Amino acid sequence: DAKTTQPNSMESNEEEPVHLPCNHSTISGTDYIHWYRQLPSQGPEYVIHGLTSNVNNRMASLAIAEDRKSSTLILHRATLRDAAVYYCTLKKSSGDKLTFGTGTRLAVRP
Amino acid sequence: DTEVTQTPKHLVMGMTNKKSLKCEQHMGHRAMYWYKQKAKKPPELMFVYSYEKLSINESVPSRFSPECPNSSLLNLHLHALQPEDSALYLCASSQAWLSTDTQYFGPGTRLTVL
C-alpha cells in the first residue's frame, strides 16, 4: 500500500493561512489524494480530494506537486475551530480501502 | 441529511458479555465501514460492506462479528472481548466504494472492556 508521511504537529495563528504538507513518494497513477480532519471527540470529516490538478472548495485548497509525490492542504484563514488532526490519505481505484496516515495535529493560537 | 448515527455513545462491558454496536445512515449510501481507533492513533479499517455484502475483512478476530441487515444499518456484534479491544469504534458510509467517494463518519462508540 502507498504510504503518506506528515509532520506530527504544527501551530498557526488565528486568521493566518496554514500550509499542511504531505509526502507520498510511492503514489501510483490511480491513487487519489484525500484529506480528512478529526476534531476533538468527533469522527473524521472529509476536507478535500484530488488526483492531479489543484482543487479548491469552501473549506480548503489542495495543491498537488507536478510529480504527485507530495501535496499541501491550505487553510486560507485559520480559525480556532480548525484545531484538529489532519490526515492525508491515498485511495486507489474502486474497491480499495482508505488507509489513514499518522496525521498532523494542528494547534491554532488566538 | 448527511449524518451517520451511532449508538451507544459509550459502552462498558466485561470480557464475558455480548453486546452490539449500531450504525445508521439515511443518505442512500451503499458502502458502509467499521473502523477502530486507539487513543492518539489514526483510524484503522476493520470491515467494508458494499451493497450489503462483506467485501473486506481486515483479518479481524472472530470476537468481532459485523452484520448489515439492510442498506441503512450496520451492526458490530461483540463477544468475549479483551481489554486491549478498548477503543473508539467508528462507522462510516459512502455512496459507493469508489476512489472519489467521500466517506461520512459517525461520532463513534467509545468502548471500554474490563
pLDDT over 70, % of chain B: 97
Does residue B100 surpass a pLDDT of 90?
no
Per-residue model confidence (pLDDT) at position A13:
96
Scanning every residue of chain B, which has its alpha carbon at the shortest distance from the alpha carbon of A101?
Answer: B42
Per the prediction, chain A carries an average pLDDT of: 92
Per-residue model confidence (pLDDT) at position A49:
93
B84 backbone dihedrals φ, ψ, rounded to 5°: -70, -10
Does residue B64 surpass a pLDDT of 80?
yes
One-letter amino acid at B55 equals S
Mean pLDDT within B6-12: 97
Contact indicator for A109, A12 with CB cutoff of 8 Å: yes
Does residue B18 surpass a pLDDT of 90?
yes
CA–CA separation, B109 and B114 (whole Å)? 16
- Class of residue A29 by CB neighbours under 10 A (exposed 0-12, middle 13-18, buried 19+): exposed
Binned at pLDDT 50, 70 and 90, residue B108 comes out as: very high
Does residue B24 surpass a pLDDT of 80?
yes
Per-residue model confidence (pLDDT) at position B99:
65
One-letter amino acid at B34 equals W
Cα separation values, B9 from A108, B2, B76, Å: 28, 19, 14
Per-residue model confidence (pLDDT) at position B96:
84
- For residue A20, give the C-alpha cell: 499542511
Site of grid cell 488507509: A99
Number of separate helices (H) and strands (E) present in chain B: 0, 11
Does residue B1 surpass a pLDDT of 70?
no
- Class of residue B65 by CB neighbours under 10 A (exposed 0-12, middle 13-18, buried 19+): middle
Q: Give me the residue from A46, A100, A103 closest to B102, CB to CB.
A: A46
Q: Show the low-confidence residues of chain A (pLDDT under 50).
A: none
- Residue to test with chain B: of A8, A33, A57, A91, most B Cβ within 10 A: A91
Q: Give me the residue from B96, B98, B105 closest to A44, CB to CB.
A: B105
- Class of residue A63 by CB neighbours under 10 A (exposed 0-12, middle 13-18, buried 19+): middle
Chain A interface, Cβ < 8 Å to B: 30-32, 36, 41-46, 49, 87, 91-103
Per-residue model confidence (pLDDT) at position B66:
97
- For residue A84, give the C-alpha cell: 484538529
The DSSP output letter for B99 is: T
Does residue B15 surpass a pLDDT of 70?
yes
CA–CA separation, A18 and A3 (whole Å)? 23
Per-residue model confidence (pLDDT) at position A91:
86
Give the pairing type, strands A70-75 and A18-23: antiparallel
- Class of residue B56 by CB neighbours under 10 A (exposed 0-12, middle 13-18, buried 19+): middle
Q: Check B102 against A91: CB less than 8 A apart.
A: no
CA distance B68 to chain A (A): 18
pLDDT over 90, % of chain B: 87
